[in-house]
Amino acid sequence: MSGQESSTFSGEIRYLAHEEARPGQLEMIHDCLNALHSGGHHLAAAPTGIGKTAAALAAAVDAARFANGPRTIFFLTSRQSQHKIVIDTVRRINARRPPQEKVRLVDMVGQASMCVQPFAKESPPLFSLLCNQARSSRSCKPYLTQAPGLRQRILSDPLHVEELVQMAQTHSEHGVPTLTCPWKAAREAVSSADIFVGDYNHLFVDAVREASLNAMEVDLSDLIVIVDEAHNLPDRIRMGMERRFTPTVVRNAVIDLEEYTERMIESAASLGTDGLVLQSSLASWALDVMKVCRGRMADLFRDLLNEPAEFEERRVNVERLRNIFLASCDEVEGKVGQQQLQAEQIHAVESPGEGLDRLKILRDVLLDVEIKVDADEENPNIDIDAHRIGHLLEDMLRFGETTALVYVHDAKGKEGRITSHLLDPGLVSGPVLKKCAGSILMSGTLYPPKMYADLLGIGQQKTTSRQYESPFASQRRPIIVAKDVTTRYQDRTYENTQRIRNHIQALCDSSPGHVAVFTPSYSMLNEYIGEGQFRGVVVRMEDRTWSKQDVDQLLDVLEDAKQAGRQILLAGVFGGRLSEGIDYHNGILDAVACIGIPNPPPSIHQKALRTYIEGRFGRANAWRYASTQPAINAILQAMGRPIRSIADRALVLLLDKRNTDRTYIECFPKDIRMNTTTEPETTKSFARRFFSRVHRQSEGSS
């Protein structure tokens, strides 16, 4: 019997974590099942409270169990805090199923975070170096230790990654204490698991995907992919593809290459194998090319400083950069003697054609410099400058013939810098998602779903999407827009700032508990919130340097303050640690204020992005896809922070009159209803009426 027959038509939901489906949850499960049975993709704009994690897992497990071939579910998240929700959901599923139907799950984070060695706390570059040295020299005993009992324990009952790391340090095999590598044990268990929980990078960074899937013994075509908080994926891919270099980076790459070449020549002289001789010759050739390139790049950076600027930036054509590398190859190969011999060996490796094959060889040598680091961890970009130039060449070769790759120069730092931007994340995600066995992309702010299908390169064929209604009645989450304030640059006056502060003070005065406020940037956070601006509350401001541990501790601080009757004004930025991916459970927040609209600042990159989107998806979508919709989605994410369960209630205050302008209001979901306020006293009255009438369901009647 097919999965479609067993679930879609019968209505039975075998793997739901709850006794009964919530409003909207049943519809989402069936939509996901229909997409997965056809090998397609479903984009779910699923608001908080619908139980989207449980819905996606119920559909994916059912589809995997009834598939014609092997299936492994890859549940990918952008934040470690989301892992716990998945593991807890699977535990609830297992509690409702007979033992033979239990779901097996493997939870993994970055290699350093799972390491049991003392050097785990070193910086990422140093950790990568030490870990690879220890493994290649076979001196890492935990990595070498075989612990089949631990692997069985991983599969017998879902473990949080912290539990696995602790267990790996106390585990015994046949009564003998056996310290083993939890990262290795987890990775080896994936091939026998139903679900793998990990970071986006496991699929959407090429080197990590190839290394991970190979080691896990799973094939991309056998994967059912769930992307959680999928609204983050386009920008996550774009940021992961950013490369930045300066003349110093080029100089350091030459130094890295010199050390590598010396070692290769010594190895070739002592061992004399044909492979090492060729490798050392290629390294010598690459070193000479990079020495020439270093001078040409220094000239480029000096020239750029004298060229006209737009937004204090300059666009650098791909051809201009590529020609520097090609001209450097030509200059080196034009020499006689040993260099001519090396050139002949290079041509013997691969015919140069238009010259790009030489760039491929140069790329490969640069990426091989020092240790060939395994790209298994969540951040594969280690701090070796030869690798930076290698990745620069890799992107140039891969995307340089398209209009999707843009290089921007600015004068920041002592020498200036050039940054590359990939405008089209779909060039990375599209091929991956199209090859997998099916996918579910979900978020509370995956709106509009068609935009994300476009941006992620999925296309319309075998793709479905749906925006699910919020289970929260509008009276439990009213929204008010302050029509007397804005953060539009030309209207930023002292009086405007004071009105914004007065609205926030009115909200704090009328709210029984904690209030969160979010701004578009850290500079605006200081400008509008600052210290000592508000009466009767303790202000806790987000810091750029905060870690996951800092955020976890903050939740405890909020809970303790609530118990003690103290009110906190929690202040953060849109897209920061406090506005996304954090679970303010148990009604810990009573209200949220959103200051301004987080439009991206004008830049060459932003201008190029709009032009690219217009050419690809039409003029009508250029501004919406590039600017206005991402900005409103960031506001929607912040608005959703106080509402984490169906029992919650909260008041939302939008502090910018532009939210009701046509440009922006059409970017909000259709079921959003907005009230207006024109002065702080009106805000205070509205808030007092709301909190006197509407309570959390555990507090009283609603």
Nearest to 364 by CA among 192, 207, 544, 593: 207
| Domain assignment of residue 263, yes or no | yes
In a domain, 156, yes or no: no
Q: How far apart are CA 305 and CA 658, in angstroms?
A: 38
Please name the residue that has the structure tokens 């929690």. Answer: 570
DSSP H or E segment with residue 87: helix 81-95
Taking the CA atoms of residue 421, residue 422, residue 425 and residue 429 in that order, the dihedral angle to the nearest 10 degrees is -120
- Give the pair of three-digit tokens for residue 189: 């268990």
Whole-prediction pTM value? 0.88
Supply the pLDDT for residue 393.
96
Largest CA distance in the chain: 90
- Residue 187 in domain: no
Where helices occur in 403-511 by DSSP H, the ranges are 426-435, 449-455, 494-510
Q: How far apart are CA 661 and CA 410, in angstroms?
A: 34
396 and 496 co-located in one domain: no
CATH of the domain at 557: 3.40.50.300
Question: Do 482 and 562 fall within a single domain?
Answer: yes
Question: Do 369 and 454 sit in the same domain of this protein?
Answer: no
If asked whether residues 613 and 571 sit together in one domain, one would say: yes
**Nearest CA-CA partner of 343 in 304, 684, 355, 151:** 355
The alpha carbons of the chain give a radius of gyration, in whole angstroms, of 28
What distance in Å separates the CA atoms of residue 270 and residue 178, rounded to the nearest whole number?
40
The torsion angles phi and psi of 181, rounded to 5 degrees, stand at -80, 110
Q: Is residue 68 assigned to a domain?
A: yes
Number of domains in the chain: 3
Asked whether residue 373 falls in the same domain as residue 331, the answer is yes
Residue 108 inside a domain? The answer is no
pLDDT on residue 495: 96
The alpha carbon dihedral of 260, 266, 272, 277 has a sign of positive
Residues 503 and 384 in one domain: no
Quick one: which H or E segment has residue 180?
A: none
Judge if 380 and 456 occupy the same domain. no
41: left (phi over 0), alpha (psi -120 to 50) or beta: beta
Indicate whether 217 and 307 sit together in one domain: no
Q: What is the pLDDT of residue 353?
A: 41
Measured in degrees and rounded to the nearest 5, phi and psi for residue 246 equal -135, 170
Q: Dihedral through CA 283, CA 287, CA 293, CA 297, nearest 10?
A: 110
On whether both 230 and 280 belong to a single domain, the answer is no
Provide the pLDDT for residue 698.
53
Residue 184 resides in a domain: no
Strand partners, 172: 177
User: 480 lies in a domain?
Assistant: yes
pLDDT of 274: 81
697 by DSSP, 3-state: which? coil
Both tokens assigned to 473: 């009645």
Residues 191, 218 contacting (CB under 8 angstroms)? yes
Q: 404 in helix, strand or coil?
A: coil
Question: Within a 10 A sphere around the Cβ of 644, how many other Cβ atoms?
Answer: 19
Please choose, from the candidates 558, 490, 566, 492, the residue with its C-alpha nearest in 3D space to the C-alpha of residue 528. Answer: 492
Please give the Cα distance from 651 to 479 (Å, whole number): 6
Contact 635, 598 (CB under 8 A): yes
| Structural domain for 543, as ranges | 474-693
- Report the C-alpha gap between 647 and 639 in whole angstroms: 16
- Cβ atoms of 6 and 65 closer than 8 Å: no
The whole-angstrom separation of Cα 51 and Cα 616 is 35
In the structure encoding, which two tokens stand for residue 587, read together? 């009604």
Q: Tokens at residue 402, please?
A: 């398209």
Cα–Cα distance for residue pair 250/602, rounded to 1 Å: 29
Q: For each successive 10 residues of the chain (702 residues), what is the average pLDDT?
A: 36 84 89 96 89 95 94 92 91 94 95 90 82 86 89 93 92 82 94 96 93 94 97 94 95 94 89 85 95 97 94 95 95 61 48 66 92 44 81 95 96 94 97 97 92 92 89 79 96 95 97 96 93 88 84 90 94 90 84 97 96 95 96 93 82 97 93 93 96 72 36
- Could you give the CA distance from residue 644 to residue 463 in angstroms, rounded to a whole number? 29
C-alpha–C-alpha distance, residues 256 and 386, integer Å: 6
Residues 73, 215 within the same domain: yes
Give the full edge-to-edge strand order of the sheet including 568-573: 538-541, 568-573, 514-519, 589-595, 651-655, 479-482, 674-677
Burial status of residue 564 (CB atoms within 10 A of its CB: 0-12, 13-18, 19 or more): exposed
Q: What DSSP string describes 346-364? A: HHHHS--TTTHHHHHHHHH
| 380: enclosing H helix or E strand | none
Distance of alpha carbon 692 from alpha carbon 386, whole angstroms: 63
Q: Does 527 share its domain with 658?
A: yes
Residue 172 lies in a domain: no
Is residue 229 domain-shared with residue 378, that is, in the same domain? no
**Burial zone of 262 (CB within 10 Å; 0-12 exposed, 13-18 middle, 19+ buried):** middle
